[in-house]
Structure 1
Amino acid sequence: MSSEHLLEPDLKDFFLSMPPLTLSREQMPAIREAREKMAMEQMPPLPPEVSIVQEMAPGRDGAPDVRMKIYRTPSDRKDRPAILHLHGGGYVLGSPESNAPQHCAWAKGMDAVVIAPAYRLAPETAFPGNVEDAYAALAWVYRNAEQLGIDTSRIAVAGESAGGGLAAALALLVRDRKEYSFCFQYLIFPMLDDRTTIRADLSPMFGEFVWDREKNRFGWTALLGQAPGGHDVSPYAAAARADDLSGLPPAFISTGAMDLFTEEDLDYARRLMAAGVPVEMHVYPGAPHGFMWVAGARVTKQFARDAREALARGIGAA
Structure 2
Amino acid sequence: MPRHPIDPESLGPLEADLAVLPGGLGSIPDIVERRARAKTLPGAAEVVDDPRVTKEDRTVPGPSGEPDVRVRIYRPVAASGALPGVYVIHGGGMIMGEVDGEDPVATMLCVELTAVVVSVEYRLAPEHPYPAGPEDCYAGLVWTAAHADELGIDPARLAVYGGSAGGGLAIATALMARDRSGPGLRLLMALYPMVDDRNETPSSRDVTDVGAWDRSTNVEAWGWYLGGREADAYAAPSRATDLGGLPPTYIDVGTVDLFLDEDVELAQRLLQAGVPTELHVLPGSYHASERRAPEAALSRRIWALRVGALRRALA
- Normalised by the length of structure 2, the TM-score is 0.91
Query: Are 2:33 and 1:12 aligned?
Result: no
- Corresponding position of 1:112: 115
- Tell me the secondary structure at the aligned position of residue 256 of structure 2: coil
Amino acid at match of 1:305: A
Indicate how the Cα distance of structure 1 residues 5 and 307 shifts in structure 2: closer, same or farther if over 3 A, else same: closer
State the match for 2:187 in structure 1. 184
Query: How many angstroms apart in 1 are the aligned matches of 2:42 and 2:123?
Result: 19
Query: Which residue of structure 1 lines up, in the alignment, with residue 169 of structure 2?
Result: 166
Single out whichever of 186-195 and 12-21 deviates more from structure 2.
12-21
Say whether residues 1:36 and 2:34 are aligned partners.
no
Q: Which residue of 274, 277, 285 corresponds with 2:275? A: 277
Alpha-carbon offset, residue 97 of structure 1:
0.9
Note the C-alpha offset of 1:5. 6.7
CA distance in structure 2 between the partners assigned to 1:257 and 1:77 by the alignment: 41
CA positional deviation for 1:220? 0.6
RMSD: 2.2
2:225 is aligned with what amino acid? Answer: L
- In structure 2, what residue type is equivalent to 1:182? L
Q: Residue 6 of structure 1 aligns to a residue in which SS?
A: coil
Matched to 1:220, the amino acid is W
CA separation of 1:5 and 1:284: change in aligned 2, threshold 3 A: closer
Distance 1:201 1:41 in 2: 30
What pairs up with 1:235-314 in 2 under 5 angstroms? 235-292=233-290, 293-314=292-313
Match of 1:101 among 98, 101, 104: 104
> Is this contact kept in 2: 1:207–1:261, CA < 8 A?
no
Give the 3 Å change call, closer, same or farther, for CA 150–254 of structure 1 in structure 2.
Answer: same
What is the Cα deviation at residue 73 of structure 1? Answer: 1.6
- In the aligned structure 1, how far is the partner of 2:168 from the partner of 2:208? 17
Question: 1:43 & 1:303 partners in 2: Cα distance?
Answer: 21
Taking a change above 3 Å as real, the CA distance of residues 137 and 243 of structure 1, as seen in their structure-2 partners, is same
C-alpha change, 1:42 and 1:271, in structure 2 (3 Å) is closer
For the residue of structure 2 that corresponds to 1:185, the secondary structure is strand
**1:275, distance to aligned residue in structure 2 (A):** 0.7
Contact 1:156/1:185, CA 8 A, preserved across alignment: yes
Structure 1 counterpart SS, 2:286: coil
In structure 2, distance between residues paired with 1:141 and 1:252: 21
1:221 aligned to 223, 229, 245, which one?
A: 223
207 and 81 in structure 1: CA distance in 2 versus 1, 3 angstrom threshold: farther
TM-score (normalised: structure 1): 0.91
**Per-residue deviation, 1:207:** 5.2
SS at 1:257 equivalent: strand
- Between the aligned partners of 1:55 and 1:315, the Cα distance in structure 2 is 25
Distance 1:143 1:297, change over 3 A: same
Spell out the pairing of 1:21-170 with structure 2 (5 A cutoff): 21=24, 23=26, 27-38=30-41, 43=46, 45-74=48-77, 77-170=80-173
Change (3 A) 1:189 1:42: closer
Partner of 2:214: 212
Kindly indicate whether the alpha-carbon contact (under 8 Å) linking 1:153 and 1:181 is maintained by their aligned counterparts in 2.
Answer: yes
Give distance in 2, aligned partners of 1:200 and 1:309: 30
- Relative to 1, partners in 2 of residues 1:222 and 1:147: Cα closer, same or farther, differing over 3 Å? same
Counterpart Cα distance in 2 of 1:269 and 1:134: 22
**Corresponding letter in the other structure for 1:68:** V
**Contact 1:205 1:258 (8 Å CA) reproduced:** no
Could you give the per-residue CA deviations for residues 99-122 of structure 1, whole angstroms, max 9, x where no partner exists? Answer: 111111111121111111110000
Q: CA deviation at 1:175?
A: 0.4
Compare 99-108 and 113-122 and name the one that shifted more. 99-108
Maintained 8 Å contact 1:207/1:259: no
TM-fit CA distance, 1:283: 0.7
Encode CA deviations 1:72-100: one digit per residue, 9 max, x unaligned: 12367342111110000000000111111
Contact 1:207/1:289 (CA < 8 Å) preserved in 2?
A: no
Identical pairs, percent: 36
In structure 1, distance between residues paired with 2:209 and 2:23: 11
CA contact (8 A) 1:259 1:287 kept: yes
Gaps of 5+ in 1: none
